Structure 1
Amino acid sequence: MKKEFRSGCPISSALDVIGDKWSLLIIRDMLVKHKKTFKEISDSDEKIAPSILSARLKLLESYKLIFKTKVPDNKKENIYLLTEKGIRLTPIIIEFSLWGNSNMREFNEIDDIEGLNSDKTLIIQTVQDNYNSMLLNFQ
């Protein structure tokens, strides 16, 4: 499912993979909210269409940001988990959250997120540690 990149620029290359709103929201839901199944991800507030979700999951999997596996106690149900490459997007997700929190309140009712005003490095480490702890249950 790989596609052509617009250029060799690293910013452009990253945007070709995660630059649409859905990819970052999927990664956010997986990383922060620990959503793992197609249904859990599709039930997000943003109401992603199933066809778009399916396409984005395939895209993210093709670039090794996520991988698909089976639920340990239900071999029929797929779950999606972030790879280390996907987990390394944490600083970007946190930066977007901080920027949105500071700059979008005048335009939209922004949810208050507990701990968002803490030390950025601590937030990033906590999110990554929490995700990695959850991952241990699936290995």
Structure 2
Amino acid sequence: MPRHRFRSACSIARTLEIVGDKWTLLLVRDLMWHGKHGFQALQRSAERVPTNILSERLKRLERWGLVRREPYQQRPLRHAYRLTDAGKALEPVLLQIMAWGHERLGGGRFDPATGQSRRPGRRA
């Protein structure tokens, strides 16, 4: 874990400094559930994260030990991004955010019966 001067002693505030922006948890979602592991695949997500932000967020997740970067091609050099155990530990948080959003905001593909996200075109 990098040295960091947190603005607060509160664990919620500290966690939000790492994963609380608009894009980070969406990247974790795509890595965890949508099988997207390459830079271009992550960029093609429905939310269309700008490339400069995607690059910065992946570096941040790697720096905090939530993602590891693995080369899979040499010429040109390309990397796959994989969640570490620490990154995978965010799954219950994502499930709760998804359930809250589905219940209060609608939309999405959340299946309250299973507590899981459904893929497009599949029925529960």
Length-normalised TM-score, structure 2? 0.84
Identity of aligned residues (%): 31
CA offsets per residue over residues 49-95 of structure 1, 9 Å max, x none?
00000110011111000010112xx3321010000000000001111
How much does 1:37 deviate?
0.6
| Conserved 8 A contact 1:2-1:59 | no
How much does 1:112 deviate?
2.8
Structure 1 residue identity aligned to 2:43: S
Structure 2 residue identity aligned to 1:117: P
2:108 is aligned, of 108, 111, 116, to 111
Length-normalised TM-score, structure 1? 0.75
Cα distance in structure 1, aligned partners of 2:48 and 2:29: 14
Would you say how many aligned residue pairs link Structure 1 and Structure 2? 114
The structure, 1 or 2, with the larger RCO (C-alpha pairs under 8 Å, 6+ apart) is 1
- The answer for the alignment partner of 1:59 in structure 2 is 60
Cα distance in structure 2, aligned partners of 1:95 and 1:21: 17
Q: Does 1:28 align with 2:37?
A: no
How much does 1:118 deviate?
2.6
Consecutive unaligned residues of structure 2, counting only runs of 5 or more, are 117-124
Report runs of 4+ in structure 1 exceeding 3 Å deviation.
1-4
What is the DSSP-based 3-state SS (H/G/I as helix, E as strand, rest coil) of the residue aligned with 1:21? coil
| Conserved 8 A contact 1:2-1:62 | no
How much does 1:9 deviate?
1.2
Cα distance in structure 1, aligned partners of 2:38 and 2:4: 25
Cα distance in structure 2, aligned partners of 1:112 and 1:19: 22
Consecutive unaligned residues of structure 1, counting only runs of 5 or more, are 124-139
CA offsets per residue over residues 6-61 of structure 1, 9 Å max, x none?
11211111000001120000000000102101101010111110000011001111
Higher helix share: 1
- The answer for the alignment partner of 2:17 in structure 1 is 16
